[in-house]
Amino acid sequence: MRKTLLITAAAALGLAGGALAAEFSEVDADADGLVSLEEAQEIMPSITQDEFSTYDGDADGALNEDEFAIMEEGHAEEQGRYEPN
Ligand SMILES: [Ca+2]
Ligand SMILES: [Ca+2]
């Protein structure tokens, strides 16, 4: 339910936030159902392998939709705390 609310809110904002509102299907460039580190870096250039791995809950080397949602939330918080590059 929370996810639905987030998507609705993102849609209401017209996706003006860019990276903060990236859709899983858009980030998954090769449409294999997983977001690789390279794909994640397309929207979050500052993300590192270590950081990526912390969100890879099942340690398969890529993020599924649930893991990706957690990464977006976590990374958005970090970007609010630190100076952007
Ligand atoms: Ca992919
Ligand atoms: Ca994974």
pLDDT tens digit sequence for 10-54: 555 544 444 455 899 999 999 999 999 999 999 999 999 999 999
- The answer to whether residues 43 and 19 touch, using CB atoms and an 8 Å cutoff, is yes
CA of 61 to the centre of ligand 1 (A): 11
Question: What is the amino acid identity at position 33?
Answer: G
CA of 22 to the centre of ligand 1 (A): 14
Position 80 scores a pLDDT of 60
Q: State the architecture of 2-78 in CATH terms.
A: Orthogonal Bundle (1.10)
Question: CB within 8 A of 1, min separation 6: which ones?
Answer: none
Please report which helix (H) or strand (E) contains residue 83, including its range: none
CA of 32 to the centre of ligand 1 (A): 5
Position 74 scores a pLDDT of 82
Position 15 scores a pLDDT of 44
Q: Which of 33, 31, 7, 30 is nearest to 20 (CA)?
A: 7
Task: Give CA–CA dist 54/58, Å, rounded.
Answer: 10
Q: Which pTM was predicted?
A: 0.66
- The runs of H, that is alpha helices, within the chain are 2-12, 24-27, 37-43, 49-55, 65-81
Task: Give CA–CA dist 54/47, Å, rounded.
Answer: 11
